[in-house]
């Protein structure tokens, strides 16, 4: 039975109120309730590279996130709601990618609105399976995240077990998205429908400050495919692909994503293999009749790597370089944000550009960066990226660019239809970008250790994050010279 989004939000809020009662509040010495206030200003221009009218974003948003937390012995529970109002459809949440919330649909079931209510998290935890303090089993909608953000960094319904000690770190769990728990997004994206994720990882500190690890992820997607029918209009929310895909990777690092470490040299490296098979629905024939074969099966095999080194010049300044490459058929598992602390500061930065927001798919990236931190009050990162295609005849994935090719009327010039802009065959140069992220921090707040995944910032800050992208020859000669995306976030936690 499908629940109205308001009903779902009400259930979550009821859960939150139950756990915020004075009786449970008295059972924990840690702060057990609060309110995060976030004001976000966004300026975005030419995400379509000038190929379509409109599409620019200039607005201000208010994002209120009340949360409650309780402990009783080995048991704990947490819930966080959300209320957003804005002058334009802007991104107040770095975990929510732009293309995920603006899916074109005929029925409006997946169209972001300026005002909405949501439940971000609601989970119950148990930490009594082992005597180690860094161990916990959580059930419910929760924040899943790994250090580089390239495998997991999202809020999703999951059963997740975490084990975190001095010498060994491990995670294991299953996850599946059943709803967005937002009053405006009534339907899931097609890629999330009936898609089960199973994952596990472990890392061992073989010598002080140096870790080696292994990680795996499997997606089982058996959702019902929506086949086109002659004379019936399709919808972009129709599910067109399912299948099974497995990722297996090795990692090594010097605790490089921990901004608190004081190493003179930090490094990270990962290598991942991917294998699986998919079934994809075939489109109707040009004359509108059904195709001979309803779907096409395909075997997928790919690999990806990400390596980097960072040098500490003095207690405040660091410089570094990084390189990432993903084969033409490689794709990420869909739970990633690609945001991490790779520049060595407390601020997490998009690994493939704040504007371009590239994905590990038929792309290689060369990156140079410098970063600066002053005590616990300021940090800044300046990053340069250069992007190329690996296979000059295949597309790439990018959450940040939505260029289109218009079919216009020869007489009136009116746009009759638009499709995604095909990249120029043989041209591998995707472009280059400069990013700047600057943060001013205010007073520190004390929060329960169990909330470290859910709330990973200090109690108050002002942050600018922005990028300017210059498209390369792969996008052709008719696109605009530059596009930008910039945010100013003001966060205060009560």
Q: DSSP character for 282?
A: P
The whole-chain average pLDDT of the chain stands at 87
DSSP per position, 38-92: EEEEEEEE-TTTTSSS---EEEEEEEEEEEEEEEETTEEEEEEEEEEEESS----
Instruction: Work out the number of other CB atoms within 10 angstroms of the CB of residue 148.
Output: 24
CA 453 → CA 181, 432, 456, distances in Å? 19, 32, 6
Sign of CA dihedral 376, 321, 456, 400: positive
Instruction: Work out the number of other CB atoms within 10 angstroms of the CB of residue 50.
Output: 17
Sign of CA dihedral 473, 479, 480, 485: negative
pLDDT digits (tens, 9 = 90+) for 467-484: 999 999 998 888 888 899
What residues contact 66, with CB distance under 8 A and at least 6 apart? 16, 33, 34, 35, 36, 80, 81
Domains annotated for the chain, with CATH where assigned, are 30-493 (2.40.160.100)
**Which residues are 161's β-sheet partners?**
137, 172
What pLDDT does 288 receive? 81
Q: Are strands 378-389 and 363-374 parallel, antiparallel or unpaired?
A: antiparallel
Q: What is the mean pLDDT of residues 5-22?
A: 41
pLDDT digits (tens, 9 = 90+) for 218-249: 999 998 898 888 878 778 888 999 999 999 99
Query: How many angstroms separate the most distant Cα atoms in the chain?
Result: 76
Q: What is the mean pLDDT of residues 299-315?
A: 97
pLDDT digits (tens, 9 = 90+) for 401-429: 887 765 555 555 554 445 677 888 889 99
Q: What percent of the chain has pLDDT over 70?
A: 85
pLDDT digits (tens, 9 = 90+) for 66-118: 999 999 999 999 999 999 999 999 999 988 765 554 445 556 788 889 999 99
pLDDT digits (tens, 9 = 90+) for 156-211: 999 999 999 999 999 999 999 999 999 999 999 999 999 999 999 999 999 999 99
Q: What is the mean pLDDT of residues 51-61?
A: 81
């Amino acid at each position: 039975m499908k629940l109205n989004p308001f009903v779902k939000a009400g259930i979550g809020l009821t859960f939150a109120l139950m756990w915020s009662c004075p009786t449970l509040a008295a059972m924990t010495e840690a702060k057990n309730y609060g309110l995060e206030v976030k004001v976000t200003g966004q300026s975005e221009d030419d995400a379509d590279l000038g190929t379509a009218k409109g599409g620019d974003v200039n607005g201000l948003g208010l994002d209120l996130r009340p949360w409650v937390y309780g402990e009783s012995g080995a048991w704990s529970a947490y819930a966080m709601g959300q209320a957003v109002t804005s002058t334009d459809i802007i991104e107040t949440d770095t975990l929510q990618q732009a293309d995920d919330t603006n899916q074109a649909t005929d029925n409006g079931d997946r169209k972001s609105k300026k005002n909405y209510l949501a439940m971000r998290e609601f989970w119950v935890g148990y930490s009594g399976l082992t005597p180690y303090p860094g161990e916990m089993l959580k059930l419910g909608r929760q924040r899943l995240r790994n250090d580089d953000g390239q495998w997991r960094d999202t809020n999703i319904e999951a059963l997740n077990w975490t084990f975190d000690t001095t010498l060994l770190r491990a995670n294991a769990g299953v996850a599946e998205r059943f709803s967005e728990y937002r009053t405006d997004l009534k339907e899931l994206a097609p890629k999330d429908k009936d898609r089960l994720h199973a994952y596990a990882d472990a890392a061992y500190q073989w010598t002080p400050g140096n870790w080696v690890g292994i990680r795996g992820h499997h997606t089982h997607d058996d959702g019902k495919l929506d086949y086109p029918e002659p004379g019936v209009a399709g919808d972009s929310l129709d599910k067109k692909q399912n299948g099974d895909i497995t990722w297996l990777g090795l990692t090594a690092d010097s605790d490089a994503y921990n901004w608190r470490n004081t190493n003179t040299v930090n490094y990270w490296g990962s290598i991942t293999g991917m294998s699986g098979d998919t079934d994809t629905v075939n489109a109707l024939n040009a004359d509108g009749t059904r195709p001979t074969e309803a779907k096409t099966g395909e075997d997928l095999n790919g690999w990806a790597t990400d390596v980097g080194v960072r040098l500490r010049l003095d207690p405040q300044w660091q410089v570094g370089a990084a390189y990432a490459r993903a084969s033409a058929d490689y794709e990420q598992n869909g739970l990633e944000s690609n945001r991490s602390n790779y520049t060595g500061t407390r601020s997490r930065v998009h690994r493939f550009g704040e504007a371009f927001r590239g994905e590990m798919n038929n792309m290689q990236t060369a990156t140079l960066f410098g970063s600066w931190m002053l005590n616990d009050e300021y940090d800044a990162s300046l990053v340069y990226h250069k992007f190329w295609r690996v296979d000059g005849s295949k597309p790439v994935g990018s959450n940040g660019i939505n260029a289109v090719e218009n079919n216009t009327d020869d007489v009136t010039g009116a746009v009759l239809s638009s499709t995604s802009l095909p990249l120029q065959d043989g041209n591998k140069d995707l472009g280059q970008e400069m990013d700047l992220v600057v943060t001013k921090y205010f007073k520190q707040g004390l929060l329960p250790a169990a909330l470290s995944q859910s709330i990973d910032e200090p109690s108050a800050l002002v942050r600018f994050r922005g990028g300017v992208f210059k498209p390369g020859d792969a996008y052709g000669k008719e696109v605009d010279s530059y596009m930008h995306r910039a945010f100013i976030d003001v966060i205060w936690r009560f």
